[in-house]
Amino acid sequence: MTTNEAPRLRASVYIATSLDGFIARENGDIDWLDAGDASAKDPSEDYGYAAFFRTVDVLVMGRGTYEKVLTFGGWPYGSTPAIVLSSRPLAIPEHLAPSVEASTASPADLVEQLTARGFRHAYVDGGQTIQRFLAAGLIERLIVTRIPILLGAGKPLFGELPSDIRLRHVRTDAFPSGLVQSEYEVLGRS
């Protein structure tokens, strides 16, 4: 890297799964995310999300995730720029237009574009988007929170890969509610 070249964008995942590895039901519902021991939940506990999000300067998400977030009643990402990957035209509400844009770029091309725009750390969200970024070797960190529920079927977090991906365990935290969060550094392909 020359001194004129910006460092490549880092890409991280912060996501919750059921114990059996699903991020949503087959129909896309995430109503199970509140599972766990309700009597042991601390309403102020955010499982490190706020600290993680402060390190992010751009979000990259798939269309399905974007459409699900729109049903939450409010845009939870504030003015943080968000790129929505979609091969079809995307409706962006006027109030989100200053910070949300659509892209058809491949993960590698998008990382190059975002790096050129000066972004340093992307939060990658959405099952297919995460799978595509992993397959392209572009994810550097995974933070996965396992919710104590078995769904039996649904949309999996991980899918087929061109080769094994080696990870280094960084930490695991268990919470009184029963949630277990693990962080991994992606080392590369084997």
Query: Do the beta carbons of residue 171 and residue 183 sit within 8 Å?
Result: yes
* High-pLDDT (> 90) share of the chain, %: 82
pLDDT digits (tens, 9 = 90+) for 137-177: 999 999 999 999 999 999 999 988 889 999 999 999 999 98
Domain membership flag for residue 164: yes
Helix/strand/coil percentages in the chain, nearest 5: 25, 30, 45
Domain membership flag for residue 37: yes
Contacts of residue 155, defined as CB under 8 A and 6 or more positions apart, other chains included, come to 22, 23, 24, 25, 26, 28, 127
Query: Do the beta carbons of residue 84 and residue 103 sit within 8 Å?
Result: yes
Give residue 4's pLDDT: 61
Domain membership flag for residue 182: yes
> CA angle at residue 36 from 33 to 39, to 5 degrees?
125
pLDDT digits (tens, 9 = 90+) for 91-139: 999 999 999 999 999 999 999 999 999 999 999 999 999 999 999 999 9
CA dihedral for 45, 80, 64, 61, sign (positive or negative): negative
**DSSP letter at 87?**
S
Give residue 45's pLDDT: 79
- In total, how many domains does the chain have? 1
Q: pTM for this structure? A: 0.91
How many Å apart are CA 184 and CA 182, to the nearest integer? 7
* CATH number of the domain within which 158 lies: 3.40.430.10
Q: Which domain holds residue 84?
A: 10-189
Domain membership flag for residue 1: no
